[in-house]
Structure 1
C-alpha cells in the first residue's frame, strides 16, 4: 500500500461479496506472544487510514516464527509462520501426487 507517515500496511485482501477486508503485517523475525500481539495492535491502528467502513475488518500476521500462534488464532486473528507454509506445501504436494497417479479399481 505504500508508506504514509509510518502507516504502511504490508498486505490487504478484500472480498466484495462478503464485504470483508483482511489487513496483514509481515515480519521476518521470530515473534514472542507479546511482540506478535503488539504488531497486531499497531496494524489495527493503521487500518483506520483505510476507508472501508462498511466492511468487516480482519487482521493477520505472517512471520518467520510465532510462539503460541494458536492463542492468537483463537482470538480471531489470521496467523501464519514458516512452519505453516511448509505444512501447506507438503499437503499441496501430496494432493498433487495422489491426483497424478492412476487409480486402479480391482
Structure 2
C-alpha cells in the first residue's frame, strides 16, 4: 500500500505542486534514472531521482526526493539526493546553472536551513494545493 501511495505522491508533486511553487519555472518535469560504477568492485549501481524539473532557457534545475513516511531525516535525504545529482547530465550536455532541491515527506524529524533547499511536509502541501 505504501509503495502505491508513494508513487501517487510523487506524481502529484510532479503534476500539480511544481507549477505552483515559485522556485523555478519548469519547462520539463520528470524523473531520472542513471547509474555509476563502484570504484572498488566495479559493480554497476542504479540511481533514481524522483523529480527533475528543467528550465532550459535559464539553465536552472530542480532536483527532488519524495518519501511517503513520517519523521524523515531531511538532512540525510538531502545528502543522498546531492550525491545522486553528481551523475546527472542534460541530454544535450548543457552546462547546469543554478541548482535547487526539494525534499518532501509526510513529516520531518530533522531539516536544516540551506540556500536553494526547500522542505515540504503534508501540512505545507495542504496549504499550497488548496
Q: Fold-level match, TM-score > 0.5?
A: yes
The answer for the alignment partner of 1:87 in structure 2 is 127
Unaligned runs of 5+ in 2: 1-31, 36-44
**Structure index of larger Rg:** 1
2:108 to 60, 66, 69: 66
> What are structure 1's unaligned runs of at least 5 residues?
91-106
Give the aligned partner of residue 99 of structure 2: 57
User: Which structure dedicates a bigger proportion of its chain to strand?
Assistant: 2
Residue matched to 2:22 = none
Tell me what 2:69 maps to: 29
Matches within 5 A, 1:9-48: 9-32=49-72, 35-48=73-86
Alignment counterpart, residue 118 of structure 2, candidates 57, 64, 78: 78
When the two chains are superposed, the root-mean-square deviation of aligned CA atoms in Å is 2.0
Q: How many equivalent pairs are there?
A: 85
Higher percent of residues as helix: 1
